[in-house]
A and B are shown apart, each in its own frame.
Chain A
Amino acid sequence: KQEVTQIPAALSVPEGENLVLNCSFTDSAIYNLQWFRQDPGKGLTSLLLIQSSQREQTSGRLNASLDKSSGRSTLYIAASQPGDSATYLCAVRSSGGSYIPTFGRGTSLIVHP
């Protein structure tokens, strides 16, 4: 059964810092990995989707990398802003058995001015 872990659980940084959020998974036979942002009490907003054959994806100040063999993905946020404050979740879609995305518990990020 796929297990997804996100480290750190919480992060508080001053504005302007470059950040790295980590997502690890136990079964490297994955289909894809998707990063989401969730504001308190709100829905999940898709940030980036990385297919199993890809190494990274970029969107604006966000860059996500994937190392399937080591079971890891990182979300890099450049020049963080207070508006980036949210919980960031990764979801892994395994290619063996159920294809249902499995979520980590997320990293709660606070960027203070």
Chain B
Amino acid sequence: AAGVIQSPRHLIKEKRETATLKCYPIPRHDTVYWYQQGPGQDPQFLISFYEKMQSDKGSIPDRFSAQQFSDYHSELNMSSLELGDSALYFCASSLGGERANEKLFFGSGTQLSVL
């Protein structure tokens, strides 16, 4: 069965550079969530989209932006990268929006290292 696909798998950037992370949800899933997980930390919610509209916002820095496209894939754009942005970035998808009683399925994550 198709899973959530994230690319790239690993990304190394310098401080102040920009990065774009991509997420392709499970087919037919209309809801995408982005989480950030630092070493030894629990995943922290960044932002979510339902039917191509932003549905909720968490602790996402102003330097970051995201969108969901017509094919439901989502991109997280990160600018002016800082050392503290180094983390594992997960995308999850589900069906029916945040209020639906559906499982979340996670991708394998993008490991971002800022040097």
Contacts and interface: CB of A to CB of B under 8 A. Distances in A.
B107 interface: yes
> Chain A's interface: helix, strand, loop or mixed, by majority?
strand
Chain A interface residue number, banded: 20 to 34
Given A43-B90, A99-B98, A100-B56, A49 B103 contact: yes
Interface in B24-44: 33, 35, 40-43
A88 to B, nearest CB: 12
B54 interface: no
Chain B interface residue number, banded: 20 to 34
A104 B42 contact: yes
B111 A41 contact: yes
Interface in A54-96: 89, 91, 93
A43 B42 contact: no
Contact of B107 (A36, A43, A91): A43
Interface of A: 4, 31-32, 34, 36, 41-46, 49, 51, 89, 91, 93, 98-106
Interface of B: 4, 6, 33, 35, 40-43, 45, 48, 56, 58, 88, 90, 92, 98-99, 101, 103-109, 111
